[in-house]
Each structure stands twice: as C-alpha cells, then as structure tokens.
Structure 1
Amino acid sequence: MNSTQSGLPPRAKNAGKSRKKPVQKKKKSGVRSFFKFLFILILIAILGAASYAGYLYLKGNEIIESSGVDKPVAPGHSAKEKPITMLLLGTDHRPETGTYLTDVVMVVSMHPETNTATLVSLPRDTLVELEGYKANKLNAYYPRFKSAEKSSGISAEDEMKAMLGKYLDVNIDYVSVVDFQGFRDVVDAFGGVDVNVQYNMCYKDSADGTNIDLKAGPQKLDGKEALDYVRYRKSSNKCSPRTKESNDFERNARQSEVLHSLLDRMKSLGGVARIGNALDAVKDNLKTDLEQDQIRHMITTYLDIRKDDVLFMPVIGEWRSPYVIVSPSELEKAKQALKDELAGKHRHSESEGTEAENTDSP
C-alpha cells in the first residue's frame, strides 16, 4: 500500500434508451456509480496495458496473473459463452482501523450475446432480515464473516456470495473486492484530478487520523484529497466554522466528477505513460476469485460495451435510523432485473432525469 494517511470520513455511530427507474428517481449525474466506474477503470487500465507493446503488455498480464486465480475456467462457463453474475464490494479497510465494512455493495449480471449488463446497487445501511442470518446492516456482514474465517473454514467472500445470492434470489458466480485506499494510489498514478469543489469541507478525527480540509473552488486534488472529496459526509466539532453536510446525491455527483477527470487523464498521452503505475495500484488493492483466463474472457467479451447498455438499478429505501428499509416491491424489481439479464432480456432505463428526495442515510 503506497498511502499511509487515512482520508476516509467516519462511519455513522450506529453503524442508449430511456425508461422508468424504481420507485424514486434521481437527477442523472453523468457517471452515477462510483464503484461501477472504478471497476471499469480497472478493466480499462488492464486493457490499455494489453493495447501497447512491450512493457505495458507484459504489465497487463502480470496484473491478471497476480490478481486472478490460477486454475482453468470450467467447461461451458467462459464469459464468452455464458452469462455471469458477480458481487462487487468496496471496503473501507485501512491500517488505522483494521475494519472491513463494505461501503459499496453491488451485484452485476452480464450477458455475452446481448453484450449488456444490469447492475443492482444496495444501500450500505440496508436492514437485512434473512433466514439463517442474524438481522443486521448490510455493511456489517463482511467484517463479521472475516472474523469467523478461521473457525468456519469458509472465506468471507464466499459467505457474502451465498448471502447476497439468497437475498437477491440469483446465483452469484464471482466476487471482487476493492480496497478504497487503492483509489488514492490510482489518482496519484495519473497525476491527480481536476475538480470544482462547490463548498468548503472539513472533518477532523484524531482517533483514526482523518483530516478533511477542502476549500471551495476549481483545483487539482491528489489521491488523498480526491478520496476526501468523494467520501465527505458531514463536519465535526473540531472544525471552525462547521461546514455543510452532504447527502448521497451530492456524493454521487462528486464521485462522477472525479472519475470523469480520471478517465480524461487516462485517455491523454500522459495518462497512457502512467498506466503501468496505475496497474500496480490496482494489483495491491483488488481481490477476486475470477480465474486468470476468465478475466481475459471478460475483457475481450465486454470491451465495447456501451454505457447505454448498462442498466443501473439503485435499490432505494426509507431511512429509519440506523437502517435503510427496503420495501418488498423494490427488492423484487431488483431481483427481476438480474433474472431478465441472465435470460438475455436486457431492460433499458425508461426515464432519465427527474430529481427526487434521496431517502438513503445522511
């Protein structure tokens, strides 16, 4: 890990075509999913390495071989010929705390014949009430499974696949876990990001070393500052004056802004020259049970997938502190969307762009 200073805000104490989004609608904010596009950034970086001769080509293969599992893909299970479903987890793991809370939980189904994907995003504070599991916030299960790995003999990743598969009524083939600290290293590898900070952001916590201090205005942020920017939630009493709170809609917009800047830098000549360093950052912060050849199959199969062919389905719930309560009808829509994708019946979004109240946690 290259970074040692934490830039993560604290967790809560209690813790293309048009079409209709589930229940509540949010104003479209460009690239709307931080983790989805971080994952795409990883794939683009690997692909970019494979697109250039010599060092970068070898570097791309090195990352695949160090990240993927060294075993063959089962016959008939190649991503080139079979729809697959993968669980994507973004953890807040950092040396200062040793925690593994999953701030991002997404399930994506992909179909090779239609070259489409459906991505279901679940609020981190979702109350999960599932037979065989103690009721809890969704983001609490991964660390619980982590602590039980030695006694259970089952990896936390396999436990998460089983639980989320049962929750969403879909078989989950793979799981990939990204440590958000890797995001800082990727930003630094590309020389920072250009953003326009809309208002001052301050949060200080000596317990875990968090020190967010951003001033309003256009500026270039390094990796630590970029992570502060996309994760900022609220101010603390150590800040004078206190700065305004941030809701999930605003955070999504900031995440999109940062990733747009990253993608622009990666497409530039200077960005290409830095791909090797970015791949090193990914290598140190990505854990997956994808076979090495399956990673290659996924890259070649979904290389030209368009943004309009990815259905984003954020599951919306009602905030009842300390939980997000997801209605049965909302959950059923998510389940059906994944099943439709796997059946080759990709659904496109019906409507893009009505802003509504965000009921996720503050």
Structure 2
Amino acid sequence: MRKKTKKKSKWRWGLYGLLAVLAGVIGYAAYQGFGVYNALDNFNKSPEESRFGQFEQVNKEEPPKWEGKERVNILLLGADARGLEKDQVARTDTMLLASIDPVTKKAHLFSILRDTYVDIEGHGKNRINAAITLGGPKLTMSTIGDLLGLDIQYYVYTDFEGFKALVDAIGGVDYEVEKDMKWTDNADGNRYDIDLKKGYQHLDGDKALQYVRFRHDAMSDFTRTERQRNFLKAVAQKMQSSWNLLRMKQILESVTPYIETNLTPQDMLKLGMLGLEVKMSGSAQVPPMELLRSSNGGAAVLEISDEDKLREYVQEQLATDESATVSGEADGTDSGRESGGGTALDSGSGGQSSEAAAP
C-alpha cells in the first residue's frame, strides 16, 4: 500500500513539474507578446513626436487599404539626420521598396536611385529624394508609387543610428566585403568614417553602416544600391533565426527611438507572420541603366527616357523568381557565407558620386 502511495506521489510531483514548465512557457510567451505589441505600437509616432508632424495636413489620396490577400508594398526610407533642428527633414539617402505577394509568398526588393529626376506633385521637377522634404513620407510614397505604377501602402523610416541599432540587436551579420573601402567624413568628429578591409568578416552595426553607405566606386550610387539590397537580404535572413525570433521584444525595443512608420501593430504582426514564409524572389535597381538618359539641364540628375517602359520593367521583375535558381546553386557552394561579394556593376574605386555630398 505504501509503495502505491509513493508511486502516486512521484507521478503527482512529475505532473506538477510539467505544469510549472508549461506555465512558465505560456507566461514567457505572453510577456514577449505583450512587449512585442507595445514596441510595435511605439513605432507609430504621434504628430507631436513625429519628424514629419508639419506635413500631416498635406491632403494626399491614400492607396487602397491592405486586407492581407493582395500585394503589399512597403517603402523603406533611410536618411542622414545629423545636425538637424526640430521640423527639419533631410533628403532620403536610401529608398528601398519591398513588394510582397502574400498568396505566392514571394518578395521582391527594388532600390530607387536617389538622383532620379521626376515630377513631384505640387512642386514641379526635382530629384526623387527631395520629396520627403516637401511633403514627408506620404508625398514620397505617392511620388515613387506613380513612377513605378504601384500602390504603396506603407513606409518605414530610420536614420543612421537606427540602422546601427538594428544590426547590433540581431548580433551583427557575417558577410563578404568585396573590396577595401575607405572614406573620411569630417562631420561629427569623423564618427562616420568608412574603413573596411576586403574579406569575409563579422559586421557589427557601425561596420555595417560603413558598408551600405560606401559609394566611391566608378559606378557610384549604382553599386551602393546593389550592396544595400544584398545586405538587407542578409539582415532579413538573420532576423528569421530561432534565437532572434525569441528575442524579438528586445530587438524591437532597441530600435524604437529611431523608427517611424504608418504601419499599425496589427499590420506589422501580420507582415511578421508572413515574413516567416516569404522567399526573396528577386531584386533590382530602378530605373535600370538602359532607361536612363543624359540630362539636358546640366544638373547631376538621372532622367528617365520612357516612364511607361519603366513601369513595364517593374512588372517584369515582379514576375521573376530567382529563389529557385539560387537554391539550386547553393547546393554546390559554400552556403555559410552571405551573398555580399563582388557586384556586377563594381569596376573600381576611383569614381565620383552624382551628388557632391559625402555618403
């Protein structure tokens, strides 16, 4: 009889232990979930907190709301916000468009050349990176959307420090730097100098920023935008690791001060779940080189020869799927390295940028 009681007691304590573990897991998940939701909510700044509060009254027609089944387009904007006063907005240094089809689970990434000369509604002709200074993210979204023939529903904006914080928060990225990169930037006490050596290495936030900012190649911004697309793919891959998924609350909290978006927490959670299934199916620069022509005005700008052909080019890119080819090639190569080496446009380091300012 005593043996039976002992046996029952062991099972009872085993059950209690299991329940305690389950309670801990559920509690941790709830804590993470609540923290993730709060962090996402903080990305959506009030007009008083926003860098773009002065543009809130600009009456731009909103694109159709994303319901979760149709293609979603998210504009990623990066700028150098150094030395700006309140209500001052810097031109966008980087513009990337992520286009995701939730049905096919395919994503495409486009980088927009910042010196592209376009019509900005209500402001005439200008470089496309000036749109944000004239009407904030909404005007930038509509300008790029009109150019590419796409409805852009969302934007995400960050500055140098936000990019660095994200890369550090995910533990950095192991990456192939395709050549030596060096540039001296005397602003801010040389805080943003670039000094990278060629080779496979671990890039923390500071070094990653150096890599994506460097544009002193023969092809200037053309090679820089290609590097940015490649590095962003590596960041997305690192964020999908099990360890970083478990640490998502901490990652989001570390970048909250630097991020601004019109995405709601619900939309971000939907996109986050979708992101776990999505494959990167292609990336491209727009406008492509074959659709650029020399400027007649003498300014260092990039003029588009045929905007209708540009929109056709975008649709052609969205119909491509490079993921199957890349997967096939990866079977016979070193899959441990990120795809960052030698770009197709890279042809030296003696060229100058089409804009005089440092990167």
TM bucket, shorter chain: 0.5 to 0.7
CA gap 1:84/1:222 in 2 versus in 1, 3 angstroms: closer
Q: Name the CA distance, whole Å, in 2 between partners of 1:129 and 1:84.
A: 24
Assess if the C-alpha contact under 8 Å between 2:167 and 2:173 holds in 1: yes
Structural mapping, 1:99-178, within 5 Å: 100-129=90-119, 132-145=122-135, 156-178=136-158
Partner residue of 1:222?
Answer: 204
When Rg is computed on C-alpha atoms for both structures, the one with the higher figure is 2
2:27 maps to 1:61: no
| Alpha-carbon displacement from aligned partner over 1:17-68 (angstroms, at most 9, x marks no partner) | xxxxxxxxxxxxxxxxxxxxxxxxxxxxxxxxx9x72443333222222224
SS at match of 1:125: coil
2-side partners of 1:272 and 1:301: how far apart? 14
Partner of 1:280: 253
Is the Cα contact below 8 Å between 1:313 and 1:334 reproduced in 2?
no
Partners in 2 of 1:265 and 1:114 — Cα distance?
22
Give the C-alpha shift of residue 350 in structure 1: 8.3
Aligned to 1:213: 195
Q: Which has the higher contact order (CA 8 A, sep 6+)?
A: 1
1:18 is matched with none
- Which residue of 1 is the match for residue 286 of structure 2? 314
After superposition, give the CA deviation of every residue in 1:265-321 in whole Å (9 maximum; x if it has no partner): 55667655654432123322221112222222333345412223x564632235656
1:323 corresponds to 2:313: no
Q: Specify which structure has the higher proportion of helix.
A: 2
TM-score between the two structures when normalised by the length of structure 1:
0.61
Whole-angstrom CA distance in 2 between matches of 1:55 and 1:264: 25
Instruction: Summarize the Cα distance change of 1:261–1:313 in structure 2 as closer, same or farther, 3 Å threshold.
Output: closer
Q: 2:266 aligns with which of 293, 301, 312?
A: 293
Q: Which runs of 5+ in 1 are unaligned?
A: 1-49, 146-155, 235-243
CA-CA distance at 1:247 after TM superposition: 4.0
Moved more, 93-102 or 135-144: 93-102
- Change in Cα spacing, 1:190 to 1:202, as seen in structure 2 (3 Å) is same
1:188 aligns with 2:176: no
Query: Per the alignment, do residues 229 and 280 of structure 1 end up closer, same or farther by CA in structure 2, a change over 3 Å counting?
Result: same
Deviation (angstroms), 1:123 = 0.7
Tell me what 1:89 maps to.
77
Q: Partner letter of residue 187 of structure 1?
A: V
CA contact (8 A) 1:78 1:297 kept: no
Equivalent-residue separation in structure 1 for 2:246 and 2:273 (angstroms): 22
Work out whether residues 176 and 288 of structure 1, in 8 Å CA contact, stay in contact via their aligned partners in 2.
yes
**TM-score if structure 2 supplies the norm length?**
0.62
Structure 2 gap ranges (5+): 1-25, 47-61, 327-342, 355-359
Instruction: Report the Cα distance in structure 2 between the residues aligned to 1:200 and 1:356, rounded to whole angstroms.
Output: 16
Aligned-residue CA RMSD (Å)? 4.2
1:347 to 2:347 alignment: no
| CA shift in 2, pair 1:337/1:282, >3 Å | farther
Q: Is the 8 A contact 1:188 1:223 kept in 2?
A: yes
One of 304, 311, 323 as aligned partner of 1:335: 311
The alpha-carbon distance between structure 1 residues 103 and 69, as it changes in their structure 2 partners (threshold 3 A), is closer
Question: In 2, distance between residues paired with 1:137 and 1:202?
Answer: 27
Deviations 1:62-86 (A, max 9, x none): 222222489xxx9x94532344433
Identity of aligned residues (%): 29
Letter in 1 for 2:129: N
Alpha-carbon spacing, 1:334–1:69, altered in 2? closer, same or farther (3 Å): farther
Contact 1:87 1:161 in 2 (8 A): yes
In structure 2, distance between residues paired with 1:207 and 1:357: 27
Q: What count of residue pairs does the alignment treat as equivalent? A: 282
